[in-house]
Structure 1
């Protein structure tokens, strides 16, 4: 039996979302953005357990094997899709399955579909290695807070802000200009949680010295969480405030905010019981 196969598909204006059935009966999801970039999953579930994200709502079952990572790409390409790139930003924390993800990223580069990834940053020893040594095409580090209590609440099983920013700051002087340009921070705006001016200012104070771009996302609401997005007016105000603080801020693309496969919406199902 093949390592993974497409078990279902949903299409919308920007995204094609695939349910991927694994050899043991578990399922994860992958998303094709804009017709040429595939977002793949690295684990069945996630141990970080961010309360706003559907991917870790059922906890962590296991990491994916290298064959299962590759199969997500191969199954979508078998539909006639010509991929320009891959991002390991779906279900799971890539650094919690680091060995397999490094092997996968290396495989992607060798075949001409360079891979980027998104991580909450832990363990920090792995983050330092990914920053300096892994042949990725982009590394986005999810921060989502400016103060330690907010970080602990929103990204509960990940490094503290102090540990995260220290690791990044220590690594940056050792990066080439090209590799540094492929590194970014992410801030997901959630109403009443981290969208206040004090929280944004605290984040800016930490981020400005790093001189890295910031991806500002608005929460995609999911059935597994009561948390809500900030609304467009507040999102634009937060964007303006961070820019005024001296940060280079990038707004979400339409594909990233679609309900069909936007950030935080992908799910994982544990192995199905034998019938």
Structure 2
């Protein structure tokens, strides 16, 4: 399952909506209900081959196999860890790689049932936004993922793990809002009754701060959640580590978040990776607390994950706890997320970076 035919690249069924398939069936002279049958095999029954679609006529199965791939991803590798976090590496039709991470809920940290699972999904191959601490953009930006490649990660993760994914976070490789239209097409597939039928409230999109798209999502009718990769409470700090801040300063970003709050009921989440001697100063904590309290936002604090090729260092546990305590004492809901999967190249893009470097697709990034 999830193998790509080597001879040619065809459109994947995982990228088609019910309307797309209905139009195709009409063109082929097939009854309209065939579209629903096909999508049921793809998303509900998780068919691995066209031959498994036994309620379709053989001639229709043959024609689908001639004109379409069943899946857009080829499973390349799975890395598991002692805490049952798993990272999946997928090969794409053009030889590039993308990764997803399946994370079990930790009731001690999140207050959720331990049988709940969150999948971190990628939206691009590489990233153009160049956050200085992130592995995703070390080799630059290659291309946007197509809807079939985005939604296909969820289907593949469920098939490979044998487990239902309860929540999705679009905060893997890439800047999701830089691929907005394809991302929203994938979300339609993921949330539709004919697709994975996962409620929009179980989806979170993370952005480094693309202000126009924040406002655009605020006007979208689905109740999708929003997380901001903030990582600095002031322009001085964000300018140092997040090039996006040179285009949209914190004042513009927070104005967009005020607009979000005026349109949506879901609380914002502010993601904040703690990096020693960069953004872990306790004055940053006090400024962050002021922003979070005004925005009624939750804060996720994440000690920095070591990335090969980068010199950043995670703060001591005592410093991380002191930073968190300032937020909590200010009345902010703050979680210090002692990350899962630290033994499986946990930082976004690391596994893909290693694989593409080994294959000579990209050059090893220079250190610094």
Same fold (TM over 0.5): yes
Equivalence for 1:115: 203
Aligned pair in 2 of structure 1 residues 133, 152: CA closer, same or farther (>3 Å)? same
SS of the aligned residue for 2:243 comes to: coil
Alpha-carbon displacement from aligned partner over 1:190-221 (angstroms, at most 9, x marks no partner):
10001112222222233321111111111111
For 1:249 and 1:83, the matched residues in 2 are separated by: 25
Equivalence for 1:173: 262
Equivalence for 1:151: 238
Instruction: Please give the residue correspondences for 1:50-89 in structure 2 after superposition, counting only pairs within 5 Å.
Output: 50-79=131-160, 80-89=162-171
Instruction: Please give the residue correspondences for 1:8-47 in structure 2 after superposition, counting only pairs within 5 Å.
Output: 8-12=77-81, 13-34=83-104, 36-47=117-128
User: Contact conserved, 1:220 with 1:264, CA < 8 A, in 2?
Assistant: no
Q: Which runs of 5+ in 2 are unaligned?
A: 5-70, 105-115, 362-368
Aligned pair in 2 of structure 1 residues 63, 268: CA closer, same or farther (>3 Å)? farther
Instruction: Please give the residue correspondences for 1:157-236 in structure 2 after superposition, counting only pairs within 5 Å.
Output: 157-158=244-245, 159-175=248-264, 177=265, 180-181=266-267, 183-236=268-321
Alpha-carbon displacement from aligned partner over 1:216-255 (angstroms, at most 9, x marks no partner):
1111111121001011100000000111223211221542
Higher relative contact order (CA 8 A, sep 6+): 1
State which structure, 1 or 2, has the greater radius of gyration over its C-alpha atoms.
2
* 2:342 is equivalent to residue 258 of structure 1: yes
User: Contact conserved, 2:286 with 2:327, CA < 8 A, in 1?
Assistant: yes
Q: 201-210 or 165-174: which moved more? A: 201-210
Aligned pair in 2 of structure 1 residues 107, 169: CA closer, same or farther (>3 Å)? same
Q: TM-score, normalised by structure 2?
A: 0.68
For 2:277 and 2:175, the matched residues in 1 are separated by: 25
SS of the aligned residue for 1:78 comes to: helix
SS of the aligned residue for 2:205 comes to: strand
User: Contact conserved, 1:187 with 1:217, CA < 8 A, in 2?
Assistant: yes
Which has more helix, going by share of residues? 2
Equivalence for 1:49: 130
SS of the aligned residue for 1:207 comes to: helix
SS of the aligned residue for 1:202 comes to: helix
* 2:216 is equivalent to residue 129 of structure 1: yes
Equivalence for 2:14: none
User: Contact conserved, 2:320 with 2:336, CA < 8 A, in 1?
Assistant: no
Kindly report the root-mean-square deviation, in angstroms, between the aligned alpha carbons of the 2 structures.
Answer: 2.2
Q: Which runs of 5+ in 1 are unaligned?
A: none
Equivalence for 1:91: 173
Aligned pair in 2 of structure 1 residues 253, 135: CA closer, same or farther (>3 Å)? farther
Equivalence for 2:325: 240
For 1:220 and 1:273, the matched residues in 2 are separated by: 25
Alpha-carbon displacement from aligned partner over 1:127-170 (angstroms, at most 9, x marks no partner):
11223416354221111112112101111124321111111012
Q: TM-score, normalised by structure 1?
A: 0.89
For 2:283 and 2:360, the matched residues in 1 are separated by: 48
Aligned pair in 2 of structure 1 residues 261, 134: CA closer, same or farther (>3 Å)? farther
User: Contact conserved, 1:47 with 1:157, CA < 8 A, in 2?
Assistant: no
